[in-house]
Amino acid sequence: MTLALAACQKLGGVAGGDNSPKLAVGDTVSGEITSSSSLNYNDGSRHQGYKMTLKNGEAVSLELGGALSGQLAVFDGQSMLANASSGSSGEGDSSGSSVSLAFRAPKDGTYLVAVNSAGAQSFGPFKLKTAQVVPYDGKPLGADSQAIDWLVGDKQEYKLKVDKPGLYSITLESSAFDAFLKLTGRNVEVEDDDNGGQLNARIRTFLEPGEYTIGASSVNSNTGSFKLSVALTPTPNGLVTRDGTALTIGQPAQSMMDSRGRRTFVLNVDSPRQVQFDAIADGFDSVLKITGPGVDAEDDDGGNGTNAQLILDLRPGRYIVAVTSLGSQQGVFELETTDLGSDVTAPNSNRKDAAADAAAEATATADAAAEAPVIH
Protein backbone atom coordinates (compact mmCIF):
# COMPACT_ATOMS: atom_id res chain seq x y z
CA MET A 1 0.00 0.00 0.00
CA THR A 2 2.84 2.37 0.85
CA LEU A 3 4.48 1.65 -2.49
CA ALA A 4 1.24 2.21 -4.39
CA LEU A 5 0.51 5.51 -2.66
CA ALA A 6 4.05 6.71 -3.22
CA ALA A 7 3.79 5.82 -6.90
CA CYS A 8 0.50 7.68 -7.29
CA GLN A 9 1.96 10.71 -5.55
CA LYS A 10 4.99 10.63 -7.82
CA LEU A 11 2.78 10.61 -10.89
CA GLY A 12 0.77 13.54 -9.58
CA GLY A 13 -2.47 11.55 -9.47
CA VAL A 14 -2.56 10.66 -13.18
CA ALA A 15 -3.68 7.11 -12.43
CA GLY A 16 -7.27 8.17 -12.68
CA GLY A 17 -6.89 10.74 -15.45
CA ASP A 18 -9.43 10.54 -18.29
CA ASN A 19 -7.49 12.75 -20.70
CA SER A 20 -4.74 10.23 -21.39
CA PRO A 21 -4.66 8.98 -25.01
CA LYS A 22 -5.66 5.40 -25.73
CA LEU A 23 -3.06 2.73 -26.46
CA ALA A 24 -3.90 -0.65 -28.00
CA VAL A 25 -1.85 -3.82 -27.74
CA GLY A 26 0.49 -3.91 -30.74
CA ASP A 27 0.70 -0.12 -31.08
CA THR A 28 3.91 1.89 -31.23
CA VAL A 29 3.64 5.55 -30.23
CA SER A 30 6.16 8.38 -30.19
CA GLY A 31 6.20 11.26 -27.72
CA GLU A 32 8.42 13.67 -25.89
CA ILE A 33 8.81 14.73 -22.29
CA THR A 34 9.21 18.51 -22.16
CA SER A 35 8.90 21.24 -19.58
CA SER A 36 5.20 21.50 -20.48
CA SER A 37 4.51 17.79 -19.75
CA SER A 38 2.45 16.94 -16.66
CA LEU A 39 4.35 17.58 -13.43
CA ASN A 40 5.06 15.02 -10.71
CA TYR A 41 4.82 17.21 -7.63
CA ASN A 42 7.12 15.38 -5.24
CA ASP A 43 10.32 15.44 -7.35
CA GLY A 44 9.74 17.79 -10.28
CA SER A 45 9.91 15.09 -12.94
CA ARG A 46 7.43 14.92 -15.84
CA HIS A 47 5.21 12.19 -17.26
CA GLN A 48 2.90 11.10 -20.05
CA GLY A 49 0.09 8.59 -19.49
CA TYR A 50 -1.71 6.18 -21.85
CA LYS A 51 -4.87 4.15 -21.27
CA MET A 52 -4.98 0.45 -22.21
CA THR A 53 -8.12 -1.69 -22.13
CA LEU A 54 -7.30 -5.35 -21.43
CA LYS A 55 -9.03 -8.60 -20.68
CA ASN A 56 -8.46 -10.77 -17.64
CA GLY A 57 -5.16 -12.68 -17.96
CA GLU A 58 -4.00 -10.78 -21.05
CA ALA A 59 -0.23 -10.30 -20.99
CA VAL A 60 1.49 -7.29 -22.53
CA SER A 61 5.11 -6.31 -23.00
CA LEU A 62 6.19 -2.66 -23.08
CA GLU A 63 9.47 -1.24 -24.36
CA LEU A 64 10.50 2.37 -23.86
CA GLY A 65 13.29 3.61 -26.13
CA GLY A 66 14.71 6.89 -27.38
CA ALA A 67 16.85 9.67 -25.94
CA LEU A 68 14.74 10.02 -22.79
CA SER A 69 16.19 8.63 -19.58
CA GLY A 70 12.89 7.36 -18.26
CA GLN A 71 10.79 4.92 -16.32
CA LEU A 72 7.69 2.81 -16.96
CA ALA A 73 4.84 2.07 -14.58
CA VAL A 74 1.46 0.38 -14.93
CA PHE A 75 -1.50 1.26 -12.67
CA ASP A 76 -4.85 -0.34 -11.95
CA GLY A 77 -6.66 2.56 -10.38
CA GLN A 78 -4.64 3.51 -7.30
CA SER A 79 -2.56 0.29 -7.34
CA MET A 80 0.73 -0.06 -9.20
CA LEU A 81 0.94 -3.43 -10.96
CA ALA A 82 4.51 -3.20 -12.30
CA ASN A 83 7.32 -0.74 -12.88
CA ALA A 84 10.80 -0.61 -14.38
CA SER A 85 13.49 2.02 -14.89
CA SER A 86 16.64 2.29 -16.98
CA GLY A 87 18.74 1.67 -13.87
CA SER A 88 16.93 -1.60 -13.07
CA SER A 89 16.62 -3.03 -16.58
CA GLY A 90 18.91 -5.65 -18.03
CA GLU A 91 20.76 -2.98 -20.01
CA GLY A 92 22.15 -1.41 -16.86
CA ASP A 93 22.56 2.03 -18.45
CA SER A 94 20.88 4.94 -16.68
CA SER A 95 21.08 7.41 -19.58
CA GLY A 96 18.85 7.01 -22.61
CA SER A 97 18.79 3.20 -22.43
CA SER A 98 15.75 1.11 -23.25
CA VAL A 99 13.38 0.04 -20.49
CA SER A 100 11.35 -3.17 -20.80
CA LEU A 101 8.39 -4.28 -18.75
CA ALA A 102 5.83 -7.07 -18.98
CA PHE A 103 2.63 -7.43 -16.97
CA ARG A 104 -0.55 -9.46 -16.90
CA ALA A 105 -4.00 -7.95 -16.38
CA PRO A 106 -5.62 -9.36 -13.21
CA LYS A 107 -9.12 -8.59 -14.51
CA ASP A 108 -11.07 -6.97 -17.34
CA GLY A 109 -10.55 -3.22 -17.22
CA THR A 110 -8.66 -0.11 -18.27
CA TYR A 111 -5.09 0.36 -17.08
CA LEU A 112 -2.78 3.35 -17.13
CA VAL A 113 0.69 3.07 -18.65
CA ALA A 114 2.86 5.95 -17.45
CA VAL A 115 6.09 7.12 -19.12
CA ASN A 116 7.98 9.06 -16.47
CA SER A 117 11.24 11.02 -16.75
CA ALA A 118 14.07 9.95 -14.46
CA GLY A 119 14.35 13.38 -12.81
CA ALA A 120 13.47 17.06 -12.85
CA GLN A 121 16.10 17.80 -15.51
CA SER A 122 15.40 14.76 -17.69
CA PHE A 123 13.71 15.59 -21.01
CA GLY A 124 13.67 14.16 -24.50
CA PRO A 125 11.80 12.17 -27.14
CA PHE A 126 10.73 8.59 -26.58
CA LYS A 127 9.13 5.69 -28.42
CA LEU A 128 6.81 3.27 -26.63
CA LYS A 129 6.25 -0.16 -28.19
CA THR A 130 3.59 -2.60 -27.06
CA ALA A 131 3.19 -6.27 -27.91
CA GLN A 132 1.14 -9.21 -26.77
CA VAL A 133 3.04 -11.85 -24.86
CA VAL A 134 2.17 -15.35 -26.04
CA PRO A 135 1.93 -17.46 -22.89
CA TYR A 136 4.01 -20.58 -22.50
CA ASP A 137 1.90 -23.60 -23.45
CA GLY A 138 3.22 -25.76 -20.62
CA LYS A 139 4.74 -28.45 -22.85
CA PRO A 140 8.24 -29.76 -22.00
CA LEU A 141 11.09 -27.99 -23.76
CA GLY A 142 13.50 -29.94 -25.94
CA ALA A 143 16.51 -29.46 -28.18
CA ASP A 144 16.34 -26.29 -30.31
CA SER A 145 13.16 -24.98 -28.66
CA GLN A 146 12.22 -21.79 -26.85
CA ALA A 147 9.53 -20.29 -24.66
CA ILE A 148 8.59 -16.63 -24.41
CA ASP A 149 7.05 -16.00 -21.03
CA TRP A 150 6.91 -13.49 -18.21
CA LEU A 151 8.20 -13.74 -14.67
CA VAL A 152 5.46 -12.94 -12.18
CA GLY A 153 6.92 -14.40 -8.96
CA ASP A 154 10.16 -15.39 -7.29
CA LYS A 155 10.75 -18.45 -9.50
CA GLN A 156 9.17 -20.38 -12.35
CA GLU A 157 9.99 -23.94 -13.38
CA TYR A 158 9.98 -25.59 -16.81
CA LYS A 159 10.38 -29.22 -17.81
CA LEU A 160 13.19 -30.17 -20.18
CA LYS A 161 13.05 -33.49 -22.03
CA VAL A 162 16.36 -34.70 -23.49
CA ASP A 163 15.98 -37.37 -26.18
CA LYS A 164 19.62 -37.78 -27.15
CA PRO A 165 22.88 -37.09 -25.33
CA GLY A 166 24.86 -34.00 -26.21
CA LEU A 167 26.13 -30.58 -25.25
CA TYR A 168 23.15 -28.38 -24.38
CA SER A 169 23.05 -24.59 -24.05
CA ILE A 170 20.17 -23.23 -21.96
CA THR A 171 19.81 -19.44 -22.07
CA LEU A 172 17.55 -17.08 -20.12
CA GLU A 173 17.41 -13.60 -21.67
CA SER A 174 15.59 -10.55 -20.35
CA SER A 175 16.00 -6.78 -20.47
CA ALA A 176 13.61 -6.40 -17.53
CA PHE A 177 15.53 -8.27 -14.81
CA ASP A 178 18.86 -9.83 -13.87
CA ALA A 179 18.36 -13.44 -14.98
CA PHE A 180 19.29 -16.51 -12.91
CA LEU A 181 19.13 -20.13 -14.14
CA LYS A 182 19.20 -23.45 -12.33
CA LEU A 183 19.15 -26.93 -13.91
CA THR A 184 18.48 -30.12 -11.95
CA GLY A 185 17.84 -33.77 -12.77
CA ARG A 186 19.68 -37.08 -13.36
CA ASN A 187 22.49 -36.25 -10.89
CA VAL A 188 22.90 -32.81 -12.48
CA GLU A 189 22.67 -29.63 -10.41
CA VAL A 190 24.16 -26.53 -11.99
CA GLU A 191 23.28 -22.81 -11.87
CA ASP A 192 24.36 -19.57 -13.52
CA ASP A 193 23.87 -15.83 -13.28
CA ASP A 194 25.67 -13.77 -15.96
CA ASN A 195 27.35 -16.17 -18.44
CA GLY A 196 24.81 -15.25 -21.14
CA GLY A 197 26.22 -11.75 -21.59
CA GLN A 198 25.12 -8.54 -19.88
CA LEU A 199 22.72 -9.74 -17.18
CA ASN A 200 21.51 -12.84 -19.03
CA ALA A 201 22.11 -16.37 -17.78
CA ARG A 202 23.43 -19.40 -19.67
CA ILE A 203 24.17 -23.00 -18.71
CA ARG A 204 26.26 -25.11 -21.06
CA THR A 205 26.60 -28.74 -20.07
CA PHE A 206 26.47 -32.31 -21.34
CA LEU A 207 23.14 -34.03 -20.70
CA GLU A 208 22.15 -37.67 -20.91
CA PRO A 209 18.64 -38.61 -22.11
CA GLY A 210 16.01 -38.04 -19.46
CA GLU A 211 13.87 -35.37 -17.81
CA TYR A 212 15.25 -32.24 -16.16
CA THR A 213 13.86 -29.14 -14.43
CA ILE A 214 14.84 -25.60 -15.42
CA GLY A 215 14.37 -22.90 -12.79
CA ALA A 216 14.06 -19.29 -14.02
CA SER A 217 14.25 -16.45 -11.53
CA SER A 218 15.42 -12.87 -11.00
CA VAL A 219 18.44 -11.79 -8.96
CA ASN A 220 17.13 -8.26 -8.42
CA SER A 221 13.51 -9.28 -7.66
CA ASN A 222 12.20 -7.51 -10.80
CA THR A 223 9.56 -9.09 -13.02
CA GLY A 224 8.95 -8.94 -16.74
CA SER A 225 9.11 -10.78 -20.02
CA PHE A 226 11.91 -13.16 -20.96
CA LYS A 227 12.98 -15.73 -23.53
CA LEU A 228 14.09 -19.19 -22.45
CA SER A 229 15.86 -21.15 -25.18
CA VAL A 230 17.44 -24.61 -25.41
CA ALA A 231 20.02 -25.47 -28.08
CA LEU A 232 21.83 -28.73 -28.83
CA THR A 233 25.43 -28.24 -29.97
CA PRO A 234 26.92 -30.99 -32.16
CA THR A 235 29.81 -32.73 -30.42
CA PRO A 236 32.70 -34.70 -31.93
CA ASN A 237 32.41 -38.45 -32.28
CA GLY A 238 34.10 -40.23 -29.41
CA LEU A 239 33.62 -37.33 -26.97
CA VAL A 240 34.65 -38.50 -23.49
CA THR A 241 31.83 -37.88 -21.01
CA ARG A 242 32.81 -40.20 -18.13
CA ASP A 243 35.58 -40.12 -15.55
CA GLY A 244 38.28 -42.79 -15.47
CA THR A 245 38.75 -43.05 -19.25
CA ALA A 246 42.18 -44.47 -20.15
CA LEU A 247 44.63 -42.21 -21.98
CA THR A 248 47.00 -43.37 -24.69
CA ILE A 249 50.14 -41.27 -25.08
CA GLY A 250 50.15 -39.59 -28.48
CA GLN A 251 46.38 -39.86 -28.98
CA PRO A 252 44.43 -36.69 -28.06
CA ALA A 253 41.22 -37.12 -26.08
CA GLN A 254 38.28 -34.80 -26.69
CA SER A 255 36.10 -34.35 -23.65
CA MET A 256 33.92 -31.92 -21.74
CA MET A 257 33.45 -30.85 -18.14
CA ASP A 258 30.90 -32.40 -15.85
CA SER A 259 28.45 -30.22 -13.90
CA ARG A 260 31.21 -29.45 -11.37
CA GLY A 261 33.64 -28.24 -14.03
CA ARG A 262 35.91 -31.31 -13.78
CA ARG A 263 36.96 -34.43 -15.73
CA THR A 264 39.49 -37.13 -14.75
CA PHE A 265 41.51 -39.65 -16.79
CA VAL A 266 43.85 -42.57 -16.07
CA LEU A 267 47.31 -42.95 -17.65
CA ASN A 268 49.30 -46.17 -17.27
CA VAL A 269 53.05 -45.84 -17.96
CA ASP A 270 55.05 -49.03 -18.61
CA SER A 271 58.54 -47.53 -18.84
CA PRO A 272 60.26 -44.28 -17.78
CA ARG A 273 59.46 -41.45 -20.19
CA GLN A 274 58.99 -37.71 -20.40
CA VAL A 275 55.45 -36.60 -21.29
CA GLN A 276 53.94 -33.23 -22.14
CA PHE A 277 50.29 -32.70 -21.16
CA ASP A 278 48.20 -29.91 -22.74
CA ALA A 279 44.61 -29.08 -21.76
CA ILE A 280 43.28 -26.94 -24.64
CA ALA A 281 39.93 -25.48 -23.61
CA ASP A 282 36.98 -24.02 -25.49
CA GLY A 283 35.94 -20.80 -23.78
CA PHE A 284 37.24 -21.36 -20.24
CA ASP A 285 40.46 -21.29 -18.21
CA SER A 286 41.76 -24.86 -17.83
CA VAL A 287 43.74 -26.30 -14.92
CA LEU A 288 45.80 -29.52 -14.99
CA LYS A 289 46.60 -31.70 -11.98
CA ILE A 290 48.53 -34.97 -12.24
CA THR A 291 49.20 -37.38 -9.38
CA GLY A 292 50.96 -40.75 -9.34
CA PRO A 293 54.21 -42.45 -8.27
CA GLY A 294 56.31 -39.60 -6.89
CA VAL A 295 54.28 -36.97 -8.79
CA ASP A 296 51.91 -34.30 -7.50
CA ALA A 297 51.97 -31.49 -10.08
CA GLU A 298 49.51 -28.74 -11.02
CA ASP A 299 49.42 -25.95 -13.63
CA ASP A 300 47.01 -23.20 -14.66
CA ASP A 301 48.37 -21.09 -17.55
CA GLY A 302 51.60 -22.84 -18.57
CA GLY A 303 50.39 -23.36 -22.15
CA ASN A 304 49.13 -20.90 -24.75
CA GLY A 305 46.80 -18.22 -23.34
CA THR A 306 44.83 -19.63 -20.42
CA ASN A 307 45.46 -23.25 -21.37
CA ALA A 308 47.26 -25.51 -18.90
CA GLN A 309 50.46 -27.43 -19.65
CA LEU A 310 52.70 -29.79 -17.67
CA ILE A 311 55.94 -31.50 -18.76
CA LEU A 312 56.80 -34.37 -16.42
CA ASP A 313 59.32 -37.16 -16.11
CA LEU A 314 57.29 -40.25 -15.25
CA ARG A 315 58.35 -43.61 -13.84
CA PRO A 316 56.29 -46.75 -14.53
CA GLY A 317 52.94 -46.75 -12.77
CA ARG A 318 49.37 -45.47 -12.75
CA TYR A 319 48.64 -41.72 -12.89
CA ILE A 320 45.44 -39.73 -12.42
CA VAL A 321 45.12 -36.78 -14.82
CA ALA A 322 42.48 -34.23 -13.78
CA VAL A 323 41.32 -31.29 -15.90
CA THR A 324 39.25 -28.62 -14.16
CA SER A 325 37.97 -25.18 -15.06
CA LEU A 326 38.31 -22.03 -13.01
CA GLY A 327 34.88 -21.02 -11.75
CA SER A 328 33.42 -24.47 -12.59
CA GLN A 329 32.77 -23.35 -16.16
CA GLN A 330 31.30 -25.75 -18.70
CA GLY A 331 32.68 -26.53 -22.14
CA VAL A 332 34.58 -28.85 -24.45
CA PHE A 333 38.34 -29.34 -24.26
CA GLU A 334 41.09 -31.46 -25.80
CA LEU A 335 43.69 -33.23 -23.69
CA GLU A 336 46.91 -33.87 -25.61
CA THR A 337 49.71 -36.16 -24.44
CA THR A 338 53.07 -35.97 -26.23
CA ASP A 339 55.92 -38.44 -25.74
CA LEU A 340 59.16 -36.43 -25.40
CA GLY A 341 61.39 -39.50 -25.13
CA SER A 342 62.44 -42.21 -22.74
CA ASP A 343 65.83 -40.70 -21.81
CA VAL A 344 64.74 -39.68 -18.33
CA THR A 345 67.59 -38.51 -16.13
CA ALA A 346 65.62 -37.05 -13.26
CA PRO A 347 62.53 -39.18 -12.59
CA ASN A 348 59.41 -37.70 -11.04
CA SER A 349 60.33 -34.04 -11.54
CA ASN A 350 59.03 -31.26 -13.69
CA ARG A 351 61.32 -30.60 -16.65
CA LYS A 352 61.48 -26.89 -15.84
CA ASP A 353 62.58 -27.69 -12.30
CA ALA A 354 65.20 -30.12 -13.57
CA ALA A 355 66.58 -27.53 -15.94
CA ALA A 356 66.74 -24.97 -13.15
CA ASP A 357 68.60 -27.45 -10.91
CA ALA A 358 71.08 -28.22 -13.68
CA ALA A 359 71.72 -24.53 -14.27
CA ALA A 360 72.25 -23.93 -10.57
CA GLU A 361 74.69 -26.86 -10.39
CA ALA A 362 76.64 -25.53 -13.40
CA THR A 363 76.84 -22.08 -11.80
CA ALA A 364 78.10 -23.55 -8.54
CA THR A 365 80.78 -25.55 -10.40
CA ALA A 366 81.93 -22.45 -12.26
CA ASP A 367 82.11 -20.44 -9.04
CA ALA A 368 84.13 -23.16 -7.35
CA ALA A 369 86.57 -23.27 -10.26
CA ALA A 370 87.00 -19.49 -10.14
CA GLU A 371 87.75 -19.56 -6.42
CA ALA A 372 90.27 -22.43 -6.62
CA PRO A 373 93.91 -21.36 -5.89
CA VAL A 374 96.19 -21.09 -8.87
CA ILE A 375 99.45 -23.17 -8.44
CA HIS A 376 102.53 -21.76 -10.18
Provide the percentage of residues in the chain whose pLDDT is more than 90: 39
pLDDT single digits (tens) 283-306: 688 999 999 999 999 999 888 888
* Distance, first Cα to last Cα, the chain: 105
Which CATH class for the 145-234 domain?
A: mainly beta
> How is the chain split into domains, by residue range?
27-85+98-133, 145-234, 245-341
When computed from its CA atoms, the radius of gyration of the chain, rounded to whole angstroms, is: 31
Same fold, 27-85+98-133 and 245-341: yes
Q: How sure is the predictor about 371, in pLDDT bands with cuts at 50, 70 and 90?
A: low
Residue 230 burial (CB count, 10 A): 23
Task: Please compute the mean of the pLDDT values over residues 43-54 and round it to a whole number.
Answer: 92
> pLDDT at residue 45 above 60?
yes
Q: How far is CA 175 from CA 37, 102, 195, in A?
A: 27, 10, 15
The CATH code that applies to domain 27-85+98-133 is 2.60.120.380
Would you state the CATH architecture of domain 245-341? Sandwich (2.60)
At 257 the pLDDT is 83
Alpha carbon of residue 256 to chain centroid: 18
pLDDT single digits (tens) 202-257: 888 888 899 999 999 999 877 777 889 999 877 666 788 889 999 999 999 988 88
Using DSSP's 3-state secondary structure scheme, residue 327 falls into: helix
